[in-house]
Amino acid sequence: MGLINMNHKTNMTLAVFGLGHVGLPTALGFADLGWNVIGVDSDRSKVESLTKGHVPFFEDGVDSLLKKHLKSDKFVVSSDSNWAVNQADILFICVATPEYKDGSADISQIENLAYQLRDSIKSYKIVIQKSTTPVNTAEKIRIILSQPKENEEVQSADKFVDVVVIPEFLREGKAIEDFFNPQRIVVGLDDMSLKETIINLYMPLFQKIGKEEQDLMIFTDTRSAEISKNAANSFLATKLSFINMVSDLCLKVGANIDSVSRSIGADPRIGTDFLKAGIGYGGECLPKDLNSFIDSGKTNGVNFSILEEVQKVNDNRVTVYLSQIKDTLPNLKDMSFAVWGLAFKPNTDEIRNSPAINIINKLIEEYAKLRLYDPLAMPVFKNQIGTSELISFASDPIDAAVDSNGVLILTDWPQFKEQDLSKLFQVMKTPIIFDGRNMLDRDFVTESGFEYYGLGI
């Protein structure tokens, strides 16, 4: 069958379905490794934009790779899924898995794509599920693909399909960096005869970075691979909520959460990553994956109460931050604030589930006047949320702070650390900084004449 021929094939064609923050970096990464890649998306306007070399979102390094491989012909973009299926040897599922109101994952896009693939496949294919999904989604895909089409009574043997799970661990804003420098590649296989084919797929990457497959590849079953992604993000969310909970204690007793974080992070069993206190996590992945994992627990009769508390702690961060502002400035009506940062984290224009947006909405309810600045996310904010008479947009951080009653640091963009505090002091009406990301040096800021409020410092 096709599997035997793929094990050492050097001219495989890959089709990547879904060209968002996961699919597009994945497609361009494999194109850069020398594979022929077809990027497929049902959004015709996105396809048209990408074909012209325009990326519809910000992701560092994607723009240059897109232009490079449109020119090299290693990457083509299409909305014709049927054509792509029959050109390709391996099919990647990278479509979105949003959440329902109850927190469970909506995998309807995956199921709909699986039916499309089933109706288009005419010969052996490997289907790789990269979208983050609840456990047992691969089995659902396999069942759909194994069903005959409406006009067929039995699925023919030459149309046999293998389903593999290779969850993505790409960080938004650093997706290209993570593709070419992975910490691990988790591969879920229920048929270990596929192992050599998957190693062959990634061999150009191993050669590029000078590593062996055993250094990076973790082979397991599909269910374990699916759980691995959800568990990883849930654990990271847990670390963040833990340190934020400790920061509340530090605030009450006069301790310093940064010192506490360094102290416990020095233990190699704990590590320093995700131990920075602040206004909480956001974005598309951590909140959604945590909710999906909690739902998987409920569905399978497992008590994930610890994760429910993680969620509650994170939801409360905005309240803690706003209370700090109101305790300092009780009447917010007609107060003017500079808002530094809209994105949920630096190096992205993503504002979905950003704590900054929740804080802005709450301040608008208090009739505070806000002047916003973000290096990347202001166009997205204008497009998705719009404007109001209480909101204006600044050209830089200092411009945002002119005649303001306070600066609100809501995203830890590195350039916010580099601002001239003497100039900032001169333009503000009242020199107060509410540092929601604990970015600045408290002692230096206060010595510069500011009132400074961090979270737990």
Q: Looking at the structure, do residues 291 and 433 belong to the same domain, yes or no?
A: no
Q: Looking at the structure, do residues 64 and 207 belong to the same domain, yes or no?
A: yes
What is the 8-class DSSP label of residue 437? T
Final residue of a domain: which of 188, 220, 252?
220
Q: Classify residue 225: in a domain, yes or no.
A: no
Q: Looking at the structure, do residues 55 and 13 belong to the same domain, yes or no?
A: yes
Q: Looking at the structure, do residues 79 and 184 belong to the same domain, yes or no?
A: yes
- Distance between CA atoms of residues 324 and 451, nearest Å: 12
DSSP H/E element including 372: strand 369-373
Residue 184, amino acid: R
Verify whether residue 285 is a known catalytic residue: yes
Give tens-digit pLDDT for 66-121: 999 999 999 999 999 999 999 999 999 999 999 999 999 999 999 999 999 999 99
Q: Looking at the structure, do residues 345 and 197 belong to the same domain, yes or no?
A: no
The b-or-e profile of 202-218 (16+ CB within 10 A means b, else e) is beebbeeeeeebeebbe
- Does pLDDT of 244 surpass 80? yes
Q: Identify whether the C-beta of residue 243 lies closer than 8 Å to the C-beta of residue 277.
A: yes
> What is the token pair recorded at 375?
């290096």
Phi, then psi, of 204 in degrees rounded to 5: -60, -30
CATH number of the domain encompassing residue 290: 1.10.1040.10
Mean pLDDT of the residues in the chain? 95
- Distance between CA atoms of residues 254 and 257, nearest Å: 9
Q: Classify residue 277: in a domain, yes or no.
A: yes
Residue 61: other Cβ atoms inside 10 A: 16
For the sheet containing 451-453, what is the strand order? 391-393, 369-373, 336-340, 406-409, 432-435, 451-453
Give tens-digit pLDDT for 305-323: 999 999 999 999 999 999 9
Average of pLDDT values for 244-268? 97
Final residue of a domain: which of 248, 282, 315?
315
Residue 395, amino acid: S
Q: Looking at the structure, do residues 53 and 145 belong to the same domain, yes or no?
A: yes
Domain that holds residue 400: 317-453
Q: Looking at the structure, do residues 208 and 277 belong to the same domain, yes or no?
A: no
Q: Classify residue 382: in a domain, yes or no.
A: yes
pTM of the shown model? 0.93
- Does pLDDT of 157 surpass 70? no
* For the chain, percent of residues with pLDDT exceeding 70: 96
Residue 243, amino acid: I
Q: Classify residue 419: in a domain, yes or no.
A: yes
Residue in 12, 285, 391, 428 annotated catalytic: 285
- Distance between CA atoms of residues 350 and 173, nearest Å: 9
- Does pLDDT of 1 surpass 60? no
pLDDT score recorded for residue 156: 58
274: left (phi over 0), alpha (psi -120 to 50) or beta: left
Q: Classify residue 264: in a domain, yes or no.
A: yes
The closest of 106, 236, 221, 173 to 412, measured between CA atoms, is: 173
CATH number of the domain encompassing residue 99: 3.40.50.720
Q: Classify residue 423: in a domain, yes or no.
A: yes
Q: Classify residue 215: in a domain, yes or no.
A: yes
Tell me the CA distances in angstroms from 75 to 57, 65, 88, 89, 131, one per residue in order.
Answer: 18, 10, 12, 15, 21
Q: Looking at the structure, do residues 257 and 204 belong to the same domain, yes or no?
A: no
Give tens-digit pLDDT for 269-284: 999 999 999 999 999 9
Give tens-digit pLDDT for 350-362: 999 999 999 999 9
Q: Looking at the structure, do residues 188 and 275 belong to the same domain, yes or no?
A: no
Q: Looking at the structure, do residues 277 and 174 belong to the same domain, yes or no?
A: no
pLDDT score recorded for residue 9: 66
Q: Looking at the structure, do residues 238 and 357 belong to the same domain, yes or no?
A: no
Average of pLDDT values for 223-237? 98
Q: Looking at the structure, do residues 75 and 215 belong to the same domain, yes or no?
A: yes
Final residue of a domain: which of 300, 315, 330?
315
- Tally of domains within the chain: 3
- Does pLDDT of 140 surpass 70? yes
Q: Classify residue 309: in a domain, yes or no.
A: yes
